[in-house]
Structure 1
Amino acid sequence: MNTDTATGPVADTSADAAAGTPPTAAAHKRVAVVGGGIVGTMTAWQLAQRGHTVTVLDQWNTPNDRGASAGESRIFRTLYKEGPEYVAFIQRAGQKWKELEAAQDTQVLDWCGGLTIGRPDHPDVAAVLACAHELGLDHRVLNATAMREEFPAYGVDDDEIGVLDPNAGVFRPELAVLAARDEAIRLGATYRPYTEVLHVRPFPDRVMVHTAEGSDAFDSVVLATGPWAGALSGLGDGVIRPKQLVGSWFPVKDLSLHTPDRMPISVRRHPEGAFSAFPSLDGAGVKILNHHLEWPTIDQVDDLARFVAPDFVRSTEAAVARLMPHLDPTAVRVSTWTDGYTPDGAPIVGVGPVDDRIVLAVGMSGQGFKFSPMVGSVVADLVTTGSSSDALDIMDPARFTSGASS
């Protein structure tokens, strides 16, 4: 088996190609992307745009319901409580999401807006307001009366506010993975599902990728393995820890209040419950992602429990009964999936500790979906030229790998 040659035409839409300069032979590389979730498929798209020959390998299919791209819906938000240093990166990602939708003639992101709801002195509410003020971002602050009138799906106390981010929305993640996969294939990428990568070994003139089916040589390898990152990344024990995420779906009593045109996504902070809420995408229920209970850390992704303890479900139901007045507070569906978390909560995007031809895009820590087109772009820059002007210092792997041999 040999994956050294492309299986289809490779289109080059990089900046050089747009200027009329084709990539040089030295710039053209054979690249393996290990992992076919949203980060891997976005990276494959960006690499194929730059004229590289791309092979994506995943131990499952693409998309699947095990990794961090599962769960029916994801949030895009620009007023970022995690820090204003992310905002320009997010804004550029939003433009790339629109580019992907145009290329595939599809919609995977509904710009329904987003709310952060809670008391003004809650740290997350205060952080969102500080981000908006520091960067001069569009937003509105609604008091409890205005919230009840404009967004009745959300129950609020008299001392709470809602901070509205008009540049926010809700993804359909599985469809987004399909769109990125199909655009990468259109540009010449090859996908090999159900192909588990056992080892990645650098040699002076190549990087070998070993699977149960054989071995293949590449010029560069990108590890976008999500919660499975510990096995191949060369990072130390405990740098990326997989956690079990739990989503619960609740029936709507009045669908008209819970569609994306009436119900923005939300990050809810209340003494009796903290969660993210997503508008109804199936016409029947609203997804709640519980935040006020600790997400369990699991030793191995294969240990992911598909059944959730009753106390966890009951706690989510109690929060919904208190804070979502037009939902039936009975969880009719509970689903689990995983993501990989770093100790500081920031992703790891950059050259890994093993070899500078092995690039990491892992440890997304629950943030990666919205970022993914820009993560893919940064990785493609690193593969092509060895640097990226879009890279964020906060994501640099060196914060965990300083002193490691390379």
Structure 2
Amino acid sequence: MSTDTATHSSTSTSTDSAAGTSPTAAAQKRVAVVGGGIVGTMAAWQLAQRGHTVTVFDQWNTPNDRGASAGESRIFRTLYKEGPEYVAFIQRSGQKWKELEAAQDTQVLEWCGGLTIGRPDHPDVTAVLECADELNLDHRVLDASAMREEFPAYGVDDDEIGVLDPNAGVFRPELAVLAARDESIRQGATYRPYTEVLHIRPFPDRIMVHTAEGSDAFDSVVLATGPWAGALSGLGDGVIRNKQLVGSWFPVRDLAVHEPARMPISIRRHPEGAFSAFPCLDGVGVKVLTHHLDWPPIDGVRDLARFVDPAFVRSTEAAVERLMPHLDPTAVRVSTWTEGFTPDGAPIVGASPVDDRIVLAVGMSGQGFKFSPMVGSVVADLVTTGSSSDALDIMDPARFTSGASS
């Protein structure tokens, strides 16, 4: 991002643009959203809902299979091992997901429940139990015998337990992006696919967005570029690191055991394998996202490999053979996509260090899909009034930009 012009710092004093309401005509803004994945489309929906004129740019189409909104399935969970400070944010996101589904007359989130499986002393199992106890969240603890009877898709050892989160489920991410896109269009947003943003330059009275097709002036810009954040974010090198995620699909031997009605999503922790598993959505296979192997770093999104090291696949197959007794342990499909990760694993949502009219919603670190509606709401607040009562301190860009030059 160019920083050769003076930055702008002003906060609207209007109080009539709270979440869910439209700003006055004087406060309506021309807003560019850069990135058409789930975060960008959610922001576009809520910005357009509040009366702003919204244009969404994406260098590909919306949705696409290159960024973090790909992969057939995603997890929604409320017992949050990453910390109880996220839970209210996630719960409000669940309500907004229902609002979007109602507006579009569709279903993108199936509430099948979620399991954290492992030994009681595993840190992730301990973390979800502590989260449930601290916030008095609905949950059940199942011993190995109960797990085998109730959820036979998962193989467990005698010393393992399952912690059931009834307020969890599975997304169809591509359909979710379509729903958010279509609802934002219904509210007045426009989309410019296959239009790569090359530069964002702030001036005192406008922000210029430059593409290969020309330049456009806006009052505010939302950067929701996921792993493409790079230089546009103004955060500096190394703050957002791209990694290659690998999903593998395994054929079901008993479909009824693996459908969402019988198989919750899971986070599995075992000495012989760690992974997330998703119920069968296509009638053929179960997706497994391996965690016990390091996700390979990549220099840039264009370096994303479509072919995966066979050792990675064989390791995933070994874990499935050991821990998923009713799957054929042969990966019949392997897919890669990419995500941007921050050093502390928390997303970045807030004003850019370059100019506070540029709002960042990047570095989702594998967490962003489930709470993308609330990220969109916070972004819309920041664009409209300059602040948001829903913003989480843990996501504040200032943790990486304190002392950065303007």
TM range (shorter): over 0.9
Residues 16 and 67 (structure 1), Cα distance of their counterparts in 2 relative to 1, 3 Å cut: closer
Q: Residue type matched to 2:246 in 1?
A: V
**Structure 2 match to 1:148:** 148
Q: Which residue of 2 aligns with 1:8?
A: none
1:177-202 deviations in whole A, cap 9, x for unaligned?
00000000000000000000000000
Aligned position for 1:95: 95
Aligned residues of 1:151 and 1:262 also touching (Cα < 8 A): yes
> Cα–Cα, structure 1 residues 52 and 320, in superposed 2: closer, same or farther, change >3 Å?
same
Q: How far did 1:405 drift?
A: 2.4
Name the SS for the 1:47 alignment partner. Answer: helix
Aligned residue in 2 for 1:6: none
Partner of 1:179: helix, strand, or coil?
A: helix
- Aligned position for 2:8: none
Question: In the TM superposition, what is the alpha-carbon distance from 1:26 to its structure 2 partner?
Answer: 2.7
Residue 3 of structure 1 corresponds to none
Q: Which residue of structure 2 aligns with residue 187 of structure 1?
A: 187
Q: What SS is found at the alignment partner of 2:299?
A: coil
Residue matched to 1:342? 342
Whichever residue aligns with residue 116 of structure 1, its letter is T
Alignment of 1:7-406 (within 5 A): 23-406=23-406
For 2:24 and 2:265, the matched residues in 1 are separated by 45
Q: State the Cα deviation string for residues 198-243 of structure 1 (Å, max 9, x = none).
A: 0000000000000000000000000000001012000111000110
Do 1:17 and 1:23's aligned partners in 2 also have CA atoms closer than 8 Å? no
Residue 208 of structure 2 contacts residue 215 of structure 2 at CA under 8 Å; is this kept in 1?
yes
Distance in 1, Cα, partners of 2:102 & 2:218: 31
Q: Is the 8 A contact 1:16 1:23 kept in 2?
A: no
Q: For 1:366 and 1:272, how far apart are their aligned partners in 2?
A: 23
Q: Distance in 2 between matches of 1:111 and 1:16?
A: 26
Unaligned runs of 5+ in 1: 1-12
Q: C-alpha distance in 2, partners of 1:356/1:390? A: 18
State the distance in 2 between where 1:152 and 1:64 align. Answer: 34
Asked whether the equivalents of residues 23 and 384 of structure 2 are also in contact (C-alpha less than 8 Å), the reply is: no
SS in structure 1 at match of 2:230: helix
| Offset at residue 404 of structure 1 (A) | 1.2
Amino acid at match of 2:101: E
Aligned-pair CA distance for 1:14: 6.5
2:25 alignment partner, SS class: coil
What CA distance in whole angstroms lies between the structure 2 residues aligned with 1:15 and 1:63? 29
Counterpart-to-counterpart distance in 1, 2:223 and 2:163: 37
Report % sequence identity. 89
CA distance in 2, matches of 1:25, 1:386: 17
**Equivalent-residue separation in structure 2 for 1:27 and 1:116 (angstroms):** 46
| 1:311-333 deviations in Å (ceiling 9; x for gaps) | 00000000000000000000000
Work out the CA distance in 2 between the residues paired with 1:106 and 1:16: 23
SS at match of 1:369: coil
Secondary structure of 1:390's counterpart equals coil
On the 8 A contact 1:36/1:224 being kept in 2, the answer is yes
Contact 2:18 2:381 in 1 (8 A): no
Q: In structure 1, how many angstroms separate the alpha carbons of the residues matched to 2:368 and 2:361? A: 9
The TM-score with structure 2 as length reference comes to: 0.95
Q: How far off is 1:254 after superposition?
A: 0.3
Counterpart CA distance in 2 for 1:24 and 1:80 is: 38
Corresponding letter in the other structure for 1:295: W
How many aligned residue pairs are there?
Answer: 391
Aligned equivalent of 2:7 = none
Counterparts of 1:341 and 1:220 in 2: how far apart (Å)?
A: 25
- Give the match's secondary structure for 1:370: coil
CA RMSD after TM alignment = 1.1
For the 8 Å contact 1:14–1:49, the answer to whether it is kept is no
Within 2, Cα distance between the matches of 1:300 and 1:17?
37
Q: Which amino acid aligns with 1:338?
A: T
Residue 9 of structure 1 is matched in structure 2 by: none
C-alpha separation in 2, matches of 1:210 and 1:238: 24
Query: What SS does structure 1 have at the residue aligned with 2:389?
Result: coil
Q: CA deviation at 1:15?
A: 5.2
Q: How far 1:97 sits from its partner (Å)?
A: 0.1
User: Is the CA contact (8 Å cut-off) linking 2:17 and 2:24 kept in structure 1?
Assistant: no
Counterpart Cα distance in 1 of 2:209 and 2:378:
22
2:5 aligns to what?
Answer: none
Aligned letter for 2:183? E
User: Partners in 2 of 1:113 and 1:17 — Cα distance?
Assistant: 29
Deviation at 1:17, TM superposition (A): 7.3
Q: Which runs of structure 1 show a deviation greater than 6 angstroms over 4 or more consecutive aligned residues?
A: none
Deviations 1:97-140 (A, max 9, x none): 00000000000000000000000000000000000000000000
2-structure distance, mates of 1:231, 1:74:
28
Which amino acid is the alignment partner of residue 63 of structure 1?
A: P
Give the Cα separation in 1 of the matches to 2:146 and 2:279.
Answer: 19
The 8 Å contact of residues 14 and 51 in structure 1, kept in 2 or not, is answered as no
Cα pair distance change 1:16/1:261, threshold 3 Å: closer
